[in-house]
Each structure stands twice: as structure tokens, then as C-alpha cells.
A and B are shown apart, each in its own frame.
Chain A
């Protein structure tokens, strides 16, 4: 995504001549390990940059300069803190977690005094060492941290962003991926810890105004929505929320994937899902070979997030297939006494081949050999979906009428944001791009919009940054900007400097970066504009 070059960081301003002990006080570890407890206070300030310095360091990198055009010049300096706090895992295991606290600084009124908090949930990271608090990695592994720093902290928001359990210092040993209860709880724990940390920072004159905004992207979009729901349940709703490109309608999304709509990145997402739900519910499989092909089953339950850097070593080492989620041999589905349905379901599991669908090449690339997931999983899941269809399959947006029985589908059902009667009580913006080949816009954002279609006007609004009908409405400039950038990239990819791709190849290349790189800054900008109304 966006990478900026700079020397933000910290000195080890250590006294060279010091003794075996230490006479200077330092941060004190917390005695309590209760969820939400700040583990170390005061937290470490990794770096401090005034507005001009941040602007120059971010702008020194081409992608950073491009980002600045979108975010606008920083109005505030930023102090980057690294917070550690206690939270719980999916099975209530105590674990230390960590995250970012970005505090705006500067004399301008928008940069100090009472400021709103923006609670941010990041997208899926595959490397266990990921740390969104680390500004020294803005040019490499933490481009998402750069985005939220420039978009929000530099514009006066106090930003709180956990790394999630299972990453960085957390010793949980797995990541509770797409676990609504755990992840919303951890977000609230991070918020509690950050609020405790704030008065102890160097920028103690920047205080919490009490106004809270929530946003997040991809996995973080799901987490942001789950957190909004949890805060509503606690009677502490945010001022507004803007989940972005999240897999909210989990059951519907996986129904689509299992039946052949293989999303980009699915061979990485799937082990995260199964490991998470296996820890939470214990019944996804008895042995990993129940779910995964023999080629990849060994050790896959401890594979993700990976300790390999870069994570692409997973493919190089043969630990995961890069694309082949499913067996290229289509399984036969047999529904006793119903040959017609058997044929329909078997056809449903075939390799996608519709030439009119621009996603077909992406979906078809998800089939091969060696493959990741056993055909038996697809068959059993599909039978369950046929027996107890998701509301989207029936032309609506509700969840299945009756509870599913296939364990993975049950887990997805439990965590689907349609589960329960919740609807946002605060203004909510759902942002995404309709050509998203990773988290399908229509299946997720579209489904939630329909699910909440009867809510009072204005409570939930939807922004497609890439509308087929062209820019329109409040966010038209953002839509126009996104589509212009896509066109610019499309033309670049076909130029000699961009590799001289054919139009078709350039289109596929655009799809590859659509979810992870292209949409996030535009949706983040939309979220900021949306929050400025409250």
C-alpha cells in the first residue's frame, strides 16, 4: 500500500555510562492483568514528528506524496506511542496485546486540548510480527499505519489501533480471526488502555474529548462493526462509525467462496479462519486432514499468522498454495432421492467459466492441484447451504431461516453481523468498492445495506467508491478521484514503463491491488469526511 521513507523512530537515548542497576525510573509494569489494563505506563513513544517533519518525511516517498495529495498536508504533528495492554483470547485466555496510540501535537486548536478518539481496526496481516504502531516500518510492512497517521492523526484525531491478539508481542499462539466477540472485546480493551495511557504521554495537553469514532478496513471493517455493536450493547455507542470493505455477512460470503467464487488471498485467509474457529469452538475438524489436503495439512493449524517474512515464503516453501484453494477436479454432490438437486449442486461446484463475468479469471485461478481444501469440505458445506440457505440465496438479506449444522458454517453463522437483532444506533457509513475481488462488495456491504434497509433514513449510508454509474452524491469527488486513479493506473500498466500489459492483463492486475491498495485511502478519506459531520 502506501510506503513512506523516513527516519522516524526513536533514539536509544541511553546513558552510556551507567551501572549494573539503574538509578533512573522507567515505565512501571501493571500489576493487574485484567482486560483493558495498560501493561506498561507510561507507554513508549516510538517517534515524534511535528507537522512539517511528518509532511517532509512522508512526502519524500512517491507513494507517500501521493497519499498526502489525498489526505491534505498534515495540520498537526504526531507522537507515535506503542501501547501494551491485557486482553483475552477466543477461549478467554489471558494475553498481552499491543497497538498504536497516535497523539496529535502542535499549537493549532485542532491539534491539542480535547480531541476525538478514532478507534481503528486494521486489515488482515499475514505476518505475525506486524506492528501497526511502528512508524519506522511505514515504508515497508506498516503502510496501513502510515495511512491512518496521515489521514487521521495528522488531522487532529487521537488514533488507537490494536495489533490484535496473536500478533507482535502476543503469545496467544493464534489469531482470533473474524471472531466478533473476541475482536470487539480487544478493541474495547485497547481503547480503555489508550485512555489510561493518554494522560501519561509527552503530549498530555492533548486530551480525550469523549467523542469516539470507529473505523477499520477489510477484517478491520468487520471488527469495527462488531465493536460498534458491542459498544451499543454496553450503552456507549460511538459518535459515528465507518466500517470499510469488511466481510460482514460471513455466512453469505463463505457460501459464495465455497461454491467457486474464490476470492483473492483465500489460501491465506482460510487457515486463519479455521484455526480461529477451531480454538473458539473446537469442532471445525478432528484432524487437519479432515479439512485440508494431505499436501498442506501438517502443521497448518499453527501456520498463520506466519513467522516467515515476507509471508510469500509460505508459497515458496510449499506450506500453502498461492492460488489453488480448491481441487481442479469437481466433486460430485449426491442428494439422496434428488438427482436434479444433485446435478445443480455439482454444477455449482464446477470451475467458473462464465466469460461475461470479469471475475471469472480470478475465480478460476483458485482451482488447481495441489490444492488446499478437500473436496469433501465443499460437498458437505454445500449440502448444508442447500438445506439451510442463506437469505441472500433466496433474494433477500437475512441469515438462514434455521441454524446450519456444518461446523464451519455454524461458526460463520455465529459471527455473521446479521446474527441477532442489532442495528446501529449511531450514524454509520459503509464504504467499499464494487469490483472488490477479495471481500465482495455486493455480498457484504450490499447485504448489510439491504439488511438495514428499513432503518430511519440517514442512519446507515453506503458509499461505493467505484460506482458503475459514475460519481454521484455527497462523495462524488472521492468516487471521481478513485476512478481517475484506477484509469491512470490502468494506462500506466499498459505503457512500456508499466510493463506493457495487454488491456486484459492490466485489468487483472488492477483487480489484484484493488482491495489491498486501491480502495483503502479513498474509503478512509470518506470516513474522515463523514466523521467531520459529528
Chain B
């Protein structure tokens, strides 16, 4: 371990010290575009309500979507970041018994929805503007808006009829860790990892009957993006 650190340190130092950009020449605005890998880490209580058998749950498949962000440089060390992904089509699958009665359930695509989840983050950027490679971390808030919900035919069959669903919008904390590499004055690339917390209560309405579940998401995302500053 010690030998590895000794060997990699000179490389890092070289990279960090390679920038010769003057602080007053740093653009204040940056747009980023890249790719967003979302790992939902969704946890839902077993579904409850009239006529719901025990041990019925749901799972959500991870998605990948384009990433967009705007950053405003506030100072050498602080930037304000507004980030979001192009709302991904997220699919929900039944989790539990293979069938409910004779209706397939486990692993069946139940529904789909798109969600817009902008995050507003205050980032602290380590080192100063003379360094090309700068790590950063940030904290902020994540706001989730869900739309374009569709219960699939299989979902309706499992629920017992056409189903409408509501889930209150959610606001929760978010944190981010990342690395920014400044290629030129205007161009950069970044990689980041972020996590947020989303909690809400699901209400599903089918044939005059309501069912609910408390849902907790812990979405974790990986982002690789290019940035243009001006």
C-alpha cells in the first residue's frame, strides 16, 4: 500500500499542478452534459389495503439516462449546481408470489413512470483554480416530481382493474462526491457519485378501493459528463 501511494503520488501532483489558469480568468457558468446511471435502492413496505394478500411488494429496475447540469461558480471553492437527468422511463415489477390466484405477479412489469428529480447542491471544491484535477463534495436538496404514469395491462390485471396512482412529490437531502478535470479553460470532464433520500406514501386507486404503501428510495447515481464553461 505504501509503495502504491509513493508510485502514484508524483502522477497526481503532476496533474494537479499542471494548470496555469489565473483565478480572474475563470468562467463563472458551466453547462454539463453526460450520462446518468441511477441505482434506485427502492424499499417499499408490503402493500396494504383491502384484499391485498400478504408478502406483496414491488421492485424497481435501475435506469440510465442523459444528465444535464448548470453550475454557477461562486468563488474559488464554492459552486452552486442544479442537476437533473432527462426523465427516465422507470419500470416497476411485482415482487412476491409467482401468482396471485392465477394472475402472474413476481417479476411482471406492473407499471412505468417518468420522474424528474432536480437536485440543487452547494459544492465545495478542493484545491484552487490552478489545479486541473479537483475533487469536490456537495450537499443540497433533491426534489422529485413523477409523471407520465402508466399501469400496464399486467398491472391492471394484478390490481384488479384500471388503476390510478398518486404519490406525493418528495423533497429530501442529497449529497455528492466528484472529481472535475479541467481540460482547457472552457472544457472539463467530471465523474461523480451522489445519493439522496426520497420518502413518500403511495396511494393506488382501483375500482373504488384504495391501497397504500410507504416507499423509501435511496437513489444513488453515477455520472460521467463533459462540461463547457463560459
On A, residues with C-beta under 8 Å from B are 7-27, 29, 39-40, 42-50, 53-54, 57, 77, 82, 84, 134-136, 202
Interface presence of B157 (CB below 8 A): yes
Chain A contact residues, majority secondary structure: loop
- Asked whether A15 and B162 contact (CB < 8 A) given A82-B51, A202-B157, the answer is no
**Are A25 and B162 in contact (CB-based, < 8 A)?**
yes
Closest A residue to B52 by beta carbon equals A12
Report yes or no: B207 in contact with A15, Cβ–Cβ below 8 A. no
Specify which of A13, A25, A46, A48 is in contact with B155 (CB 8 Å cutoff). Answer: A13
Is there an interface contact between B102 and A46, defined as CB atoms closer than 8 Å? no
Residues of B within 8 A of A22 (CB): 149, 164-166, 205
Q: Which residues of B contact A (CB under 8 A)?
A: 42, 44, 47-54, 56, 58, 60, 90, 92, 94, 96-97, 99-103, 105, 110-113, 115, 145-151, 154-169, 202, 204-209, 211-213, 215
A11-B161 contact, Cβ under 8 Å, with A19-B145, A44-B206: no
Interfacial chain A residues near B54, Cβ < 8 Å:
7
> Which of A20, A49, A57, A136: most chain B CB closer than 10 A?
A20
Q: Are A13 and B151 also in contact (CB < 8 A) when A19-B113, A53-B99 are?
A: yes
Q: How far is the CA of A54 from the CA of B110 in the complex (A)?
A: 24
**Across the interface, do A13 and B159 meet the contact criterion of CB distance under 8 Å?**
yes
Chain B hits for A13, CB < 8 A: 94, 105, 110-111, 151, 154-159, 163, 204
The answer to whether A24 and B100 touch across the interface, beta carbons within 8 angstroms, is no
CB pair B53–A7 under 8 Å, yes or no, is: yes
Taking a contact as CB atoms under 8 Å apart, the answer to whether B167 and A19 are in contact is yes
Across-interface contacts of B206 in A (CB, < 8 A): 10, 12, 26-27, 44
Q: Which residues of B contact A9 (CB under 8 A)?
A: 51-53, 100-101
CB <8 Å contact, A14 and B110:
yes
Whether A84 pairs with B208 at a CB distance below 8 angstroms is: yes
| Pair A15/B155 contact, Cβ less than 8 Å | yes
Give chain B nearest CB distance to A108 CB in angstroms.
15
- A19 partner, pick from B50, B101, B149, beta carbons under 8 A: B149
Q: A11-B159, A14-B159, A25-B162 are in contact. List 16 more A-B contacts (CB 8 A).
A: A8-B101, A9-B52, A10-B158, A11-B158, A12-B206, A13-B156, A14-B111, A15-B151, A17-B60, A24-B164, A24-B165, A27-B208, A48-B157, A82-B51, A136-B51, A202-B157
Which residues of the other chain, A, contact B163 by a CB distance below 8 angstroms? 13-15, 24, 26
Q: Please give me the residue from chain A that is nearest to B160 by CB atom.
A: A45
B42 contacts across to A, CB distance below 8 A: 16
Closest to B49 in A: A12
Q: Quick one: closest B residue to A84, CB to CB? A: B208
Q: Are B161 and A27 in contact (CB under 8 A)?
A: yes
Number of A-B contacts (CB under 8 A): 214
- Shortest CB distance A82–B (Å): 7
CB < 8 Å neighbour of A17 from B146, B160, B162, B213: B146
B58–A14 CB distance below 8 A: yes
C-alpha spacing A140/B96, complex, angstroms: 23
Most chain A C-beta atoms within 10 Å of own C-beta, residue among B99, B146, B205, B208: B208
Given contacts A16-B42, A48-B157, A11 and B102 within 8 Å (CB-CB)? no
- Flag if B56 contacts A23 (CB, 8 Å): no
27 example contacts (A-B, Cβ-Cβ < 8 A) are as follows: A9-B51, A10-B53, A10-B100, A12-B49, A12-B206, A13-B157, A13-B163, A14-B58, A14-B213, A16-B42, A16-B44, A16-B110, A16-B113, A17-B111, A17-B113, A18-B146, A20-B169, A21-B166, A26-B162, A26-B205, A27-B162, A27-B206, A42-B207, A44-B208, A47-B101, A50-B102, A53-B99
Q: How far is the CB of B153 from chain A (nearest CB, A)?
A: 10
Known A10-B51, A15-B110; contact A46-B160, beta-carbon cutoff 8 A: yes
A256 to B33, CA, bound (A): 88
A77 contacts which chain B residues (CB < 8 A)?
Answer: 102
Which single residue of chain A is at the shortest CB-CB distance from B47? A12
Are A14 and B161 interface neighbours, CB within 8 A? Answer: no
User: Bound state CA distance, A7 and B56, in angstroms?
Assistant: 11
Residues of chain A with a CB closer than 8 A to B150's CB: 15, 23-24
Q: In the complex, A185→B112 CA distance in Å?
A: 44
Q: Are B105 and A26 in contact (CB under 8 A)?
A: no
**Which A-B residue pairs are the 9 nearest by beta carbons?**
A44-B207, A15-B111, A19-B146, A13-B158, A40-B208, A14-B204, A22-B164, A9-B53, A11-B158
Q: Which of B47, B112, B206 has the most CB of A within 10 A?
A: B206
CB distance from A523 to the nearest CB of B (A): 28
Residue from B50, B56, B113 whose CB has the most chain A CB atoms within 10 Å: B50
CA distance A20 to B171 in the complex (A): 13
A400 to B15 CA separation, bound complex (whole angstroms): 110
Distance (whole angstroms) from the CB of A140 to the closest CB of chain B: 13
Given A9-B52, A14-B159, the answer on whether A19 and B166 have CB atoms closer than 8 Å is yes
Q: CA separation between A135 and B51, bound complex, in Å?
A: 8
| In contact, A47 and B51 (Cβ under 8 angstroms) | yes
A16 to B207, CA, bound (A): 18
B204 CB, min distance to chain A CBs, angstroms? 4
Give the distance in Å from the alpha carbon of A202 to the alpha carbon of B159 in the complex: 12
B93's closest neighbor in chain A, by CB?
A: A16
Nearest chain-B residue to A53 (Cβ)?
B102
Q: Cβ of B202 and Cβ of A14 under 8 Å apart?
A: yes
- A106 to B: closest C-beta gap in Å: 10
